[in-house]
A and B are shown apart, each in its own frame.
Chain A
Amino acid sequence: MLYRETGQFKPTYQADQAIFPIAQDRWFITAVLAVAFLVVPLLIDDYWANAIFLPFLAYALAAIGLNILTGYCGQVSLGTGGFMAVGAFSAFKLMTAFPDLNFIIVVILAGGVTALVGVLFGLPSLRIKGFYLAVATLAAQFFLVWLFNKVGWFINYNATGQVTAPPVEFFGVLIIGPEATPPARYLFCLAFVAVFALAAKNIVRGRIGRSWMAIRDMDIAAELIGIRPLEAKLSAFAVSSFYVGMAGALYFAVWLGAAEPGEAFGIEQSFFVLFIIIVGGLGSILGSFLGAAFMVLMPILLKNFMVNGIGVEVVTAKHVEITTMGILIVFFLIVEPHGLARLWQITKEKLRLWPFPH
């Protein structure tokens, strides 16, 4: 009843090919964006920003990046943490070398640097496939983290080995540093993520995205219909790393503010982003957001529920939390192996018929 496209006629091809061809979808997404841009900033405080929204946005962007590579192009990568580190340290070097550079440019440049590194480490994908490739990307992960840990230039020869993002103003508003207000930091990240999520949605709908999917579904067949694997795979690595790099820059500069290569960008990070896209849904931009929300929120919810809600001892709560996360992941996979995005889709399909199922 509420969600029905009856009567929505599309007189032009353009309208038919819009990102959200159904009016209700458009309203919904507009409403979500309106809430995100207009309502959330009024309510957000340090806790919501630091514990929920900023990690959610940073991870969502990284997940979009990895989803492009893994979900759309079928190349499993476990090097996300390393690529995020490239983004973060590029941003750090740019911020300290050119303090007056607009931060938008810093983030995009950081993404660009990461894209180059990504292409380099994507080269083996031309020969290696599946889990072999996944483990091979770990080489990138370990090497990059080692590099940032070892070479003093990347951390400006800091005695401590930790990098701290200097305060940054964006058109007169502080967005990085301890004094930056939560709404400012949040809005900056949100704008970034919104714009680039839209861009990603369009890329994967276009020619290049379709060539990735062809490669994913069957690379030999794709070759036969005239898609060059070299071009398709490397472009996927480049675009994916670009996103992951930007996510790394936001993650480091806006969210954490200080980081150490081994701890902040370790292998756990790579796995975490991979969890996000599998839980959220491979090959879905929406899935990246849903997955990030699940992986960031769920542990906090479980913890708050157990510790503040029913008064479980903190350490027991943590153990139960880990176990429950595991159970939930397995449960979701059994119920819906294609992730939360697929659940959402099923919901929509059911809604179309509701309340008359036939």
Chain B
Amino acid sequence: MSPDFLFFLEIIVSGLMAGVMYSLVALGFVLIFKASGIFNFAQGVLCLFAALALYDFIAPGGWVDRWFGFTLPVWLGIIMTAGVMVIVAWLIERLVLRYLVNQAPIILFMATIGLAYVLEGMGDILFGSDVKPLDIGLPQGASDYMLDTFGLYVEKLEIVAAFVAAALVAVLAVFFQKTRIGRALRAVADDHQAALSVGISLRTIWVIVWSVAGIVAMVAGIMWGSKSGVQFSLSLIALKALPVLILGGFTSVPGAIIGGLIIGVGEKLAEIYVGPLFGGAIENWFAYMLALAFLLVRPQGLFGEKIIERV
């Protein structure tokens, strides 16, 4: 293979991988939007919060270590963190969402911004603001096999991320399609009132959805946290997920994945081949422009539900 082609291939692979990482964040948005029509601004902060909690369960110098003198094994830490996220979800429903049923979407959006502030402040108070290296034993660095055999650079962490994302989507699909709760979730997503009238508890459903979104946030937090260390900036990855979200459609789980892949590859190609013409760093706005271009063709995103309006 010619070096140029190989390089091209590398960009595609890296773009796909980066896209998967964005998808992980976007998934959380989709879940909540699908079930409650809320655009959850706090998703990024949830990722940060989960990663911080996990760090404190498993790392030397974390809370558990300081209080009890031992650290939890990684698997237990993850379960505990999932538990924390469920509690957070319950609190959010109990203290906020319950009082905002039937409000306009922008009001709910604003409420999640308030939540983001609260979680951010609480995160700082509870866990401190240092950079925390998160090591849960995920492989790091380039894959030696790929690099030595094919001269192709692929990062191991991202291969793992791809598998995790695939597993996550599979689990979510089964959960949504095959379980009782999943069916209830879909019913709520389709029509709040109809769901209520057949005896589905909206409140329970919201707690469940926010818990699931919290757990997805934890997975995203682990992946990104392993990459850069856990710190405040982790909450900013939400901005990377937004173009993915509009491209794939706010309500579609597969959309979040496909959208992520398109954005990932698109922005890398643009940055490397077009970027130098404009002096570089065009990645960020290019992702949005790309999504915008798709939207002009399909205003509800690639896989979003068609908006039907009646007078």
State if A and B touch, Cβ cutoff 8 Å: yes
Chain A contact residues, CB within 8 Å of chain B: 70, 76, 124, 127-132, 135-136, 138-139, 142-143, 146, 150, 218-221, 224, 267, 271, 275, 278-279, 282, 316, 319-330, 333-334, 337
Asked if residues A132 and B246 are in contact (CB atoms below 8 Å), the reply is: yes
Residues in A whose Cβ lies below 8 Å from that of B106: 70, 76, 278, 282
Knowing A135-B291, A330-B118 touch, does A128 contact B296 (C-beta < 8 A)? yes
A318→B304 CA distance, assembly (Å): 40
Asked if residues B115 and A267 are in contact (CB atoms below 8 Å), the reply is: no
Of all chain A residues, which has the CB nearest B310?
A220
Knowing A135-B242, A323-B118 touch, does A329 contact B96 (C-beta < 8 A)? no
* Interface membership of B133, Cβ < 8 A: no
Asked if residues B284 and A327 are in contact (CB atoms below 8 Å), the reply is: no
A278→B108 CA distance, assembly (Å): 11
Knowing A124-B292, A146-B281 touch, does A337 contact B103 (C-beta < 8 A)? yes
Of all chain A residues, which has the CB nearest B295?
A128
Residues in A whose Cβ lies below 8 Å from that of B107: 278, 333, 337
Residues 99-142 of chain B, each 1 if its beta carbon lies under 8 Å from chain A, else 0: 11001111101110111111111101100000000000000000
Of all chain A residues, which has the CB nearest B236?
A267
Asked if residues A326 and B115 are in contact (CB atoms below 8 Å), the reply is: yes
Of all chain B residues, which has the CB nearest A134?
B39
* Interface membership of B194, Cβ < 8 A: no
Other-chain contact of A322, B95, B103, B117, B243 (Cβ < 8 Å): B117
Residues in B whose Cβ lies below 8 Å from that of A131: 39, 105, 109, 246, 250
What's the interface size class on B, roughly?
A: 35 or more
Asked if residues A143 and B113 are in contact (CB atoms below 8 Å), the reply is: no
Asked if residues B125 and A330 are in contact (CB atoms below 8 Å), the reply is: no
* Interface membership of B311, Cβ < 8 A: yes
Knowing A319-B121, A322-B120, A333-B100 touch, does A136 contact B111 (C-beta < 8 A)? no
| Closest CB in chain B relative to A228 CB, distance in Å | 17
| Closest CB in chain A relative to B242 CB, distance in Å | 5
5 cross-chain pairs, A with B, having the tightest CB-CB distances, nearest first? A326-B117, A323-B121, A329-B114, A139-B288, A326-B118
A129→B117 CA distance, assembly (Å): 27
A292→B174 CA distance, assembly (Å): 47
Knowing A267-B239, A319-B121, A330-B96 touch, does A224 contact B110 (C-beta < 8 A)? no
Main secondary structure of the interface of B (DSSP, over half): helix
Of all chain A residues, which has the CB nearest B109?
A131
Other-chain contact of A327, B103, B118, B246 (Cβ < 8 Å): B118
Knowing A139-B285, A282-B106, A337-B107 touch, does A320 contact B121 (C-beta < 8 A)? yes
Of all chain B residues, which has the CB nearest A327?
B118
Residues in B whose Cβ lies below 8 Å from that of A337: 100, 103-104, 107
Knowing A320-B121, A326-B116 touch, does A129 contact B307 (C-beta < 8 A)? yes
Residues in A whose Cβ lies below 8 Å from that of B289: 139, 143
A329→B107 CA distance, assembly (Å): 10
Residues in B whose Cβ lies below 8 Å from that of A124: 292, 295-296
Asked if residues B124 and A139 are in contact (CB atoms below 8 Å), the reply is: no
Asked if residues B125 and A323 are in contact (CB atoms below 8 Å), the reply is: yes
Asked if residues B96 and A316 are in contact (CB atoms below 8 Å), the reply is: no
Asked if residues B245 and A333 are in contact (CB atoms below 8 Å), the reply is: no
- Residues of B255-310 contacting chain A, CB below 8 A: 278-279, 281-282, 284-285, 288-289, 291-292, 295-296, 299-301, 307, 309
Asked if residues B124 and A319 are in contact (CB atoms below 8 Å), the reply is: yes
Knowing A139-B289, A322-B124, A330-B118 touch, does A275 contact B110 (C-beta < 8 A)? yes
Knowing A139-B289, A143-B289, A323-B121 touch, does A333 contact B111 (C-beta < 8 A)? yes
Residues in A whose Cβ lies below 8 Å from that of B309: 219-220
Residues in A whose Cβ lies below 8 Å from that of B296: 124, 127-128
Knowing A129-B299, A220-B309, A271-B113 touch, does A135 contact B118 (C-beta < 8 A)? no
Residues in B whose Cβ lies below 8 Å from that of A128: 292, 295-296, 299
Asked if residues B284 and A142 are in contact (CB atoms below 8 Å), the reply is: yes
Other-chain contact of B295, A136, A327, A328, A330 (Cβ < 8 Å): A136
Asked if residues B299 and A334 are in contact (CB atoms below 8 Å), the reply is: no
Residues in B whose Cβ lies below 8 Å from that of A330: 95-96, 111, 114-115, 118
| Closest CB in chain A relative to B34 CB, distance in Å | 13
Residues in B whose Cβ lies below 8 Å from that of A138: 239, 242-243, 288
Residues in A whose Cβ lies below 8 Å from that of B104: 337
- Residues of B228-260 contacting chain A, CB below 8 A: 239, 242-243, 245-246, 250
Of all chain A residues, which has the CB nearest B126?
A319
Residues in B whose Cβ lies below 8 Å from that of A319: 121, 124-125
Residues in B whose Cβ lies below 8 Å from that of A278: 106-107, 110
A263→B300 CA distance, assembly (Å): 32
Knowing A142-B284, A278-B107 touch, does A132 contact B242 (C-beta < 8 A)? no
A153→B282 CA distance, assembly (Å): 18
A129→B106 CA distance, assembly (Å): 13
A86→B124 CA distance, assembly (Å): 35
| Closest CB in chain B relative to A335 CB, distance in Å | 9
A130→B37 CA distance, assembly (Å): 12
| Closest CB in chain B relative to A157 CB, distance in Å | 14
